[in-house]
Structure 1
Amino acid sequence: MTSELSYSHGTSDTALLGDTIGANLDRAVAAWPDREALVDVQSGRRWTYAEFAADVDRLARALLASGVAKGDRVGIWAVNCAEWVLVQYATARIGAIMVNINPAYRTHEVEYVLKQAGISLLFASVRHKTSDYRAMVEQVSGNCPRLTRTVYIGDPSWDALIARGTPEHDAELRLRAAELSCDDPINIQYTSGTTGFPKGATLSHHNILNNGYFVGELVAYSEQDRICIPVPFYHCFGMVMGNLAATSHGACMVIPAPSFDPRATLDAVQQERCTSLYGVPTMFIAELNLPDFADHDLSTLRTGIMAGSPCPVEVMKRVVAEMHMAEVAICYGMTETSPVSLQTRMDDDLEHRTGTVGRVLPHIEVKIVDPATGVTQPRGAAGELCTRGYSVMLGYWEEPGKTAEAIDPGRWMHTGDLATMREDGYVEIVGRIKDMIIRGGENVYPREIEEFLYGHPKIRDVQVVGVPHEKYGEEVLACVIPLDAADPLTLDDLRAFCEGRLAHYKIPSRLQILESFPMTVSGKVRKVELRQTYGA
């Protein structure tokens, strides 16, 4: 008898949305004009759906008056703020392609994106922390001939742009909306490659609107929900799973701060009576470890989304018990798939929420294949996770060769992640193909070791990487943030904890004690940097 294959598809009685983002927003405004749509906590500004749509249209008219055509690329290089959201929906209204630029980029990187995407109009923050965006734009603009205008948020240039749009442009706005297809490209997001320059994943209305909608459906969003979004808008987590999930259900978007701040996040949940909270595990860990965590009233929370990396069991237990997030979901995805392909369900048990990344979303297919042959694996066998459906990007912007490397002729997106599918269809991520450690011919999956080491009483957080070894090819390095810096564990402590419980080749042979991990802006640990820094 042959084993069932590692293939699953999301059947659903709920139809895909055929709307553009603008048309979908119009539906929300018609249904809930007086409900709150957006709250920017730091500035104290609030919008009902009717007010939000009016400001979106005001900006859309200004873009039309400035000559922005359908398909033109409009960049946004900014931290989280209300204007970011207005730009997202206004560009969608007129069929311009919004290009998200990572706020952490410096001149070399931003110049590449401005040129590669052919950005003609750029919205930017003035400054944030150590980033002087105006100075950096002035430094690179001479090398970007397509860039004709930069508008700074919170600066007179923003007001000057808005003033260009008048009610006389309403007819043009209606005509432009009528020309748009839900399959038009609407967004370019640059994936943070570990080698070479990032690639611009090009996404349509259909890609991201439906993904936001179905992520919201699986956590039962309605117009009663208020979603605290401390994750960055420049990433799919913020602008799709956050903003589009909210507006497609009439829920409220709550921006706690320009960038992640654990105290500001919990203050916003309490003040705004949020029902949902987003974050990567390291964000939840930072919130739970606040000295005054217990002083915050989080009783309004019921759900939220944790994504970006696996959630340790002990962290999930605290999120459910102490943050009241009994219906929290784990999501798995990638920018190229708009982003979510797999998600846990509200009634899943603790083991499924920490041991898996859920099961396939409605209207999407997933399979696990042998990376060498492309043949679908039997359930339980490790292989590369692939996904297909409405969510797969249109391609990498002006890079057909790179697109063909990622999306095969059958339209399957190859994720580069190693995974297994259980008999019940739930998927476990066992690592990145490139992160897998091969020690003396044995395949070692860092995720398994990390999950085990989280159980050590002296470990707050841990990342496992492979580093070069003369005899075995690679050896296992554990990078540990101790629970108490004054009482860090030793390599002997660590190895004693593992002896008899992990196979000998999985036991770390090296230990590095750290105060923090190098992170991307979206909250993922930069393992490549750990390998480079401590692999010598």
Structure 2
Amino acid sequence: MPAAPPPMTSTSVRRSAPRDTSAASRNIERGYLRGIRDGPRGRPVTWPCPTVTDRVVGSLAVTGPRHTAALLRRAARTHPDRQAYVHGEKDATYAWLDRAADGFAATLIGLGVAKGDVVCLLLPSSIKFAACYLGALRAGAITSALNLRLGAAEQASVFRRTRPKVTVVGDGARVPDGVDPGRVVPVTDLGPMLKAAALAEDRLPAIGPDDPACVVWTSGTTGEPKGAVYDHARMAAISANIGQLTEPGDRRLVVLPFAHVGYMTRMWDELASGTTIVLAGEPWSAAETLRIIRDERITMGTGVPTQWELVLAHPDLAITDFSALRVCGIGGAAVSPDLVRRMRETLGCPVLTRYTSTEAGVTTSTTVGDPDEIVANTVGRPAPEVELRIVSPDVRGVELPRSRTGEIVCRSPAMMRGYWRDPELTATVIDADGWLHTGDLGWVGDDGNLRIVGRLREMYSRGGYNVYPAEVEAVLADHPAVTQAAVVGLADPVLGEIGGAFVVAADPATPPTLEELRAWCRERIADYKAPDRLSVMEVLPVTAMHKVDKQALQGMGAD
């Protein structure tokens, strides 16, 4: 019987544990990563379609654990005392995390959770989030994590479709009205659950590589959240595609919420590499980021351009030691060559950009050694085992030659299985041959690097968060002072893109203000979807087809 884990909190100031750099530890981890990337006997692993093939499942069986919870067990035995998570003055070792996952899995099974049931996490990013996620995986459950910035209607939509057996609710969060959350577990009740005695192995469900592990939620083109389903094998494939952003024993600074695809689907990579995850402060600040990089000896940092600009402009920059940094990732918005150059020169490490999405996982990446212009103006070349094409946005399936702009489609073992309980929606983005249609527009140059030029649809990305105009327009149109509304994405030097709202006032004598409409939106949808600019017009311009002329509005917004 495993010993109970130590308490989650500490009353003493914790100092960072030294990075485990022993040759034995590095060799074990690198050997395992090579097995995942190369397959048995060094043969390349190929997945020509989203269905997990016998060859890939066999590869996982040869190289190590076949599912994420088993990989946690292996990590805990390989480096039990290494920090798995650091959050402020709290930390958790791999041994603690393994025991906590045992306890939560036993609790879930005791509550009647069976293999394939959904466990919903309505929690902020934290060590407890990680323990619950891994415990649910060990119980054979599917984890559905919700971004706490989603509006009540968006959260309710997720609950109605997932019908969770158990929902863990954090401080300050609440289950939306009118939904069935299953058994509600307040975060204050988690302590004893994480310390519960582990079940015997024969009482745990048998889990395979192709069993679903998580559902990652994002907004749909109409604003309704869509759930991308990932199984354990796909998470292993994502680990293989991370490339130079992962080294055994890394200490990685995480700035995105844990409900994001960048955390939910990278769990395999973190466990296989023995990574220490260091959480950024809430709310994010440049000063705290610099302190964490210095005090926690961060080796791998990520962020959106806005965050890196603020870091480079902070007064504490001159007194921060960046010597531990091995590589930094940047993405989520447009990146300038000047920012890449300043990051590289100031931080003293390579800077990489990638093309990722909730549905496609890691698709492309630049590499160490690429010039600043390539890092800034492209998203690199396809990751291992990723097939990428540029196709006509008008004639489905027609591939375009190099340097022609079209829709980006990809096929890989790292992409989602499909949308949660929505085969019809899945069929609109994954065709019969397994190609995922991203809805993004881009082109590939003679150098093999992918350039993103826009969205096939009207979505824009505000500071790394996707916003769909139709959803915001519907909310604005419900305001009593608005009779018509249109929203477009406008270029912004800080956030990459921001929302510009164009409305027709119900009473021209008392038009709505930007502050009024932003408050209205924040009460109904995620705060980052609220428009940043407002123009009140007598009429909205229309095309010959009597549709709102979005191109004309973008021109007005840019002036």
SS of corresponding position for 1:33: coil
1:23 aligned to 59, 70, 75, which one?
A: 70
Question: Which residue pairs with 1:166 in the alignment?
Answer: 197
CA–CA distance in structure 2, aligned partners of residues 272 and 481 of structure 1: 27
1:360 aligned to 382, 400, 406, which one?
A: 382
Question: Which residue pairs with 2:262 in the alignment?
Answer: 237
CA–CA distance in structure 2, aligned partners of residues 279 and 399 of structure 1: 32
Q: What is the aligned-residue RMSD (CA, Å)?
A: 3.4
SS of corresponding position for 1:292: helix
Question: Which residue pairs with 1:89 in the alignment?
Answer: 134
Question: Which residue pairs with 2:437 in the alignment?
Answer: 414
CA–CA distance in structure 1, aligned partners of residues 268 and 357 of structure 2: 16
SS of corresponding position for 1:390: coil
Question: Which residue pairs with 1:80 in the alignment?
Answer: 125
Q: CA deviation at 1:100?
A: 1.6
Q: CA deviation at 1:220?
A: 4.6
CA–CA distance in structure 2, aligned partners of residues 161 and 220 of structure 1: 32
Provide closer, same or farther for how the CA distance between residues 28 and 336 of structure 1 changes in structure 2, counting only shifts above 3 A. same
SS of corresponding position for 2:149: coil
Provide closer, same or farther for how the CA distance between residues 103 and 23 of structure 1 changes in structure 2, counting only shifts above 3 A. same
**Paired AA for residue 30 in structure 1:** R
Question: Which residue pairs with 1:148 in the alignment?
Answer: 182
Percent of aligned pairs with the same amino acid: 29
CA–CA distance in structure 1, aligned partners of residues 70 and 491 of structure 2: 50
Question: Which residue pairs with 1:501 in the alignment?
Answer: none
Provide closer, same or farther for how the CA distance between residues 58 and 404 of structure 1 changes in structure 2, counting only shifts above 3 A. same
Provide closer, same or farther for how the CA distance between residues 181 and 230 of structure 1 changes in structure 2, counting only shifts above 3 A. same
Q: CA deviation at 1:239?
A: 3.2
Question: Which residue pairs with 2:549 in the alignment?
Answer: none
Question: Which residue pairs with 1:319 in the alignment?
Answer: 343
2:220 aligned to 193, 199, 203, which one?
A: 193
Provide closer, same or farther for how the CA distance between residues 280 and 113 of structure 1 changes in structure 2, counting only shifts above 3 A. same
1:344 counterpart = 2:379: no
SS of corresponding position for 1:114: helix
- 2:103/2:193 contact within 8 Å kept: no
CA–CA distance in structure 2, aligned partners of residues 395 and 476 of structure 1: 28
SS of corresponding position for 1:92: helix
| Aligned residue pairs, count | 437
In structure 2, runs of 5+ residues without a counterpart are 1-36, 46-55, 61-65, 470-486, 496-513, 537-552
Question: Which residue pairs with 1:282 in the alignment?
Answer: 306
1:178-213 per-residue CA deviation (whole Å, 9 max, x = no partner) reads x11111111111112352411111111111232034
Provide closer, same or farther for how the CA distance between residues 196 and 161 of structure 1 changes in structure 2, counting only shifts above 3 A. same
CA–CA distance in structure 1, aligned partners of residues 258 and 144 of structure 2: 12
SS of corresponding position for 2:273: coil
- 1:305/1:330 contact within 8 Å kept: yes
Provide closer, same or farther for how the CA distance between residues 71 and 365 of structure 1 changes in structure 2, counting only shifts above 3 A. same
1:60-84 per-residue CA deviation (whole Å, 9 max, x = no partner) reads 2222222211111111122211111
Q: CA deviation at 1:403?
A: 0.6
Q: CA deviation at 1:150?
A: 1.9
SS of corresponding position for 2:335: coil
Q: CA deviation at 1:533?
A: 6.1
CA–CA distance in structure 1, aligned partners of residues 447 and 308 of structure 2: 28
- 1:303/1:325 contact within 8 Å kept: yes
TM-score by length of 2: 0.71
Question: Which residue pairs with 1:369 in the alignment?
Answer: 391
- 1:80/1:258 contact within 8 Å kept: no
Provide closer, same or farther for how the CA distance between residues 360 and 232 of structure 1 changes in structure 2, counting only shifts above 3 A. same
Q: CA deviation at 1:408?
A: 0.8
Question: Which residue pairs with 1:219 in the alignment?
Answer: 245
- 1:11/1:363 contact within 8 Å kept: no
- 1:115/1:144 contact within 8 Å kept: yes
**Paired AA for residue 382 in structure 2:** V
CA–CA distance in structure 2, aligned partners of residues 158 and 23 of structure 1: 22
Q: CA deviation at 1:530?
A: 5.6
